[in-house]
Amino acid sequence: MKLGFVDGPTSRWSIQHSSKAFNCHRSYPLLCKKSKHNLYHEQHALLQTLRHGGKAARTSFKQQASATPLITGSPPSVVASFSVWSTPSEQPAGALYSAPLCGRPLPLGAHAESALDAVNFSVFSSSATFISLCLFTEPDLQAGIVTAEIPLNPELNRTGDVWHIMVPGLKPGLLYGYRVSGLHQDGPELEGAGHRHDSSCIVLDPLARSIISRRRYGQLGPDLQFGNPGVLGLMRTWPQAAAPVPSVSSQNGGPGSEEAFDWQGDRPLGLAMEKLVIYEMHVRGFTQDSSSRVSSPGTYQGMIEKLDYLRELGVNAVELLPVQEFNELEYYSQIPGSDAYRFNYWGYSTIGYFAPMSRYSDAAAKGKSGQAVQNEFKTLVRECHRRGIEVILDVVFNHTAEGNDMGPTLSFRGLDNRVYYMLAPGGEYYNYSGCGNTFNCNHPVVRQFIVDCLRYWVLEYHVDGFRFDLASIMTRAHSAWHPTYAQDGSTSDSGQEEQAALGAEEGVAWAAEGLERTVDMEGLDPVDQQAASRPMGAMVDPVTGNMTNGGGVPTGTPLSDPPLIDMISEDPILRGTKLIAEAWDCDGLNQVGAFPHYGGRWSEWNGRFRDVVRNFIKGTDGPWAGDFASAICGSPNLYANSQPHETDWWGNNGGRKWRGGRSPSASVNFITAHDGFTLADLVSYNEKHNEANGEDNRDGESHNCSWNCGEEGINVVKWDVKRLRQRQMRNFMVALLVSHGVPMLHMGDEYGHSKGGNNNTYCHDSTLNWLNWSQALEDATGFQRFTKHMVQLRMRHPELQRSQYVTEREIQWHGEQPNTPDWSESSRLVAFSLNDFRGGGLYVAFNTAHTPRLLNLPRWQGIVWQPLVDSSKVAPYDFLTQDKELSETEVIKARVAASMWTAENVYPVLPWSCIVLEAVPEVKAQIQKSDIPGSASAYQ
């Protein structure tokens, strides 16, 4: 092996063997190690000169690039079998670590290598010119300074677009991040659009498994001289964050670790989708109120202490609002006209996709390790499973916390902005999310990142499924940037007039601060031309000038077969998980009923169900009776019918192939959710009242399909208004829980939580959003009891948990007379009977008119209709079942009293009320009645 020089401009290492030249892939770092070591240090110094020397320095270097060192000779045969990644990479040892090794490119992230007492760090960046690993002690992190910095050798610590280094002998308790150099489109030079590298920032590893900055929720960061040179972080609400370096002894809960996690045999529950009753909830809001009386309010630990409440309520799945790392102080500012401050309470602004939200952790608040934070969340999942409750995560892959071009550089932007975000040719951010940026979901690198993330939460944390926020964004075509071949020293990169060739060694620096090299292509074969080219301009349509995905499809176009959704749907690790799409986005794309589901793998939040039920229950004129009947059956008009409505743009175009052929479990039914009115406010307000948000009531949805029952506001005096509201809340709960599909309740609705008419409480960390345990347990109105029994009713009636749509044999529709339904636009009555074909069934009727109705019941041989639910009655007689409120004798007496109606096969339904009757054998009913001494048979 010999080091030589060749004439002519070239910028790649090659190994010459016979007359054939091979590109020197970075898997051969042993070649001429000493010479490369010298070159590395020389070129690192040169990089600094070029970085600060301006155009003159770069021009001078370009003129000197006519002779480039090459390694010639036969490659050593030992390379193929030698563990290249465990060899030294020429950086010296430091006070906190031993001499670094080359490391390996996969897996991405930081992983302990116990055999070498080392940690391997690996991060993707296709456009960085230089990367260094930054290490912190926690005191230094709080002070905004780097404790130690290890520059990565671009020859020895880079494979393809992955930068990697293995560091042995790391002191315990360290944290890490990366300093990344490269192009920035707003830099002093004319540089490539779309690049936003900033070497003044230390960015997070996208695969960081824990993130530490502030340790307590709502706590401001240290008061530093932010903005001064050498001081990291943006402000007290955005102090520098870093990821804990994995402990070699405790990696993955290894043997002998004090932090090893014991799953105690936990396995996936594997509940069928149609069997679920989902409870949408907020981890902090669940126990933050002092009335929770838990040891650690607002934490995973606090939630664990209250899980028995959920088990008693009867739900068997929780859908957690975002628990991936976010900054709750992102919006922190005083709300105008108030002493309160604005928070990012809901958390739909992700920073770290692999990291549990640390400030939801009791362990983090107590100064414990990142592994302890992870273990606390694992304990929550394990304890949910122990109680028969599955865990579904609300995930946000449509945008990140980095926002638009004015936002902070936290991670993805500083590593590879062109790859991770959907960009226009000039580098502007597409904003389908309404939050400033759009994650470039269908880019090959990004979609692999997303799938790896989902796998990680399933394998590492045993979660059971995911709800995807604004999932329609995940179906849009990505933006792509392509290599262009500079001919005769020119470049076609838009807005870039010159490039500097930094070609001494590939990867050390293709450019000073990212200037892309100019290479004379004359005489190079196509393979060498491709090797000598670099990603440059945007892939635009030559006619329209619009950004494309590289395949001719305009960026942002909804794809009929989106690669990301395909990958998730067919992934073997994710095969048993629940996948729920919020099938719309902020640019008007609505895919409800035709989200790409790949054989029914996906369910959808059914916003149509919400609107239909709201309109029918409040008694609105229109086609609501028929639509309500369809909603009761699991919305077959959306999920079974292959013919889209003429107004359904997506269903008539790219979504046509996904229409129809699905089951009721495709529909996740809800009436309220975290954004919008609570159930109590839905029946108490005609208009939103968001003044507390400080935006002059301009924010939030104005079209709520709500009715205040006669008086605006939650604190009414009139008794009749209060009673009507209680009826309406029960009507909504019955409609939700007798409908086919998958019902979802929102936290607090089970007892009637009010937010004072505020339908957009995203910014309030206060009692507006916190569950009030005193109100829930006192249950003054009996609504919490009613909700619990309705959930139990659903659980014990398989005919309500359907995997197939009902047929005319199983369901019959009625009016005031059996089998005579009224589907007119003035109809206020929907009634049906549902046969379970085991000798039982249900009769359900909703009267949303202002007048009572006397209904004739269908006659079933040997069956008596026994009253179970009547929303017009005062608790506890609204639900007749034996519990601590009603004895068995009281239940029987109430049913005997109702037999004056049922004996005649009729039943009255008061205005704005609903009933549920249960089919029981006539003999059983007679036995129950005979248990009351002195009673005469009312069934004879």
Whether residue 709 contacts residue 682, with contact meaning beta carbons closer than 8 Å, is answered with no
* Chain centroid to CA 685: 31
Is 9:503 a contact under the CB 8 Å cutoff?
Answer: yes
Cα–Cα distance, 766 to 761 (Å, whole number): 10
Site of tokens 């993330």: 453
Q: Is 582 among the residues known to form the active site?
A: yes
Question: How many C-beta atoms lie closer than 10 Å to residue 72's C-beta?
Answer: 17
Please state, in angstroms and rounded to a whole number, the distance separating the CA atoms of residues 399 and 440.
Answer: 9
Burial of 5 (0-12, 13-18, 19+ CB in 10 A): exposed
Residue 141 phi/psi, 5° resolution? -60, -45
Q: How many other β-carbons are positioned within 10 Å of the β-carbon of residue 115?
A: 8
Compute the CA torsion angle 581, 586, 589, 594 (nearest 10 deg). 10
Helix or strand run (H / E) with residue 482: strand 481-484
CB 717 within 8 A of CB 642: no
Nearest-CA neighbor of 747 among 737, 755, 739, 735?
A: 755
- CA dist., res. 882 & res. 40, Å (int): 80
The residue count for the chain? 940
Instruction: Say whether 290 sits in a helix, a strand or coil.
Output: helix
Residue of 664, 733, 703, 692 lying closest to 879 (CA atoms) = 733
d(CA 476, CA 591): 12
Q: Which helix (H) or strand (E) holds 363?
A: helix 362-365
Which residues of 548-614 form beta strands (DSSP E)? 578-581, 602-605
- Told to judge if 469 belongs to the known catalytic residues of this protein, a careful annotator would answer yes
* Token pair belonging to 390: 């599955």
State the catalytic residue, choosing from 90, 189, 259, 582: 582
Beta-sheet pairing, 853-856 with 906-909: antiparallel
Which listed residue (274, 469, 681, 765) is catalytic?
Answer: 469
d(CA 651, CA 594): 6
d(CA 665, CA 802): 8
For the chain, the C-alpha Rg in angstroms (whole number) is 32
Is 562 in contact with 442 (CB distance < 8 Å)? yes
What DSSP state is assigned to residue 584? B
Distance in angstroms (rounded) separating the CA atoms of residues 844 and 569: 37
CA distance 253 to 24: 39
User: 737 is written with which tokens?
Assistant: 């829980």
Among residues 855, 933, 868, 863, the alpha carbon closest in space to that of 898 is found at 868
Q: Among 609, 610, 617, 612, which residue's Cα sits nearest to residue 912? A: 617
- Cβ atoms of 120 and 113 within 8 Å: the answer is yes
Q: What is the 3-state secondary structure (H, E, C) of 780-796?
A: CCCHHHHHHHHHHHHHH
Within 13 A of 626's CA, how many CA atoms are on the CB side? 8
In a 13 Å sphere around the CA of 595, the CA atoms on its Cβ side amount to 30
Nearest residue to 245 (alpha-carbon basis) of 186, 146, 321, 177: 177
Distance between CA 825 and CA 827 in Å, rounded? 6
Residue with tokens 């997303």: 450
Query: Nearest to residue 770, comparing CAs of 270, 285, 156?
Result: 285
Q: Other CB atoms closer than 10 Å to residue 698's CB: what's the count?
A: 9
**What whole-number distance in Å separates Cα of residue 62 and Cα of residue 549?**
34
Q: Which residues are catalytic?
A: 469, 582
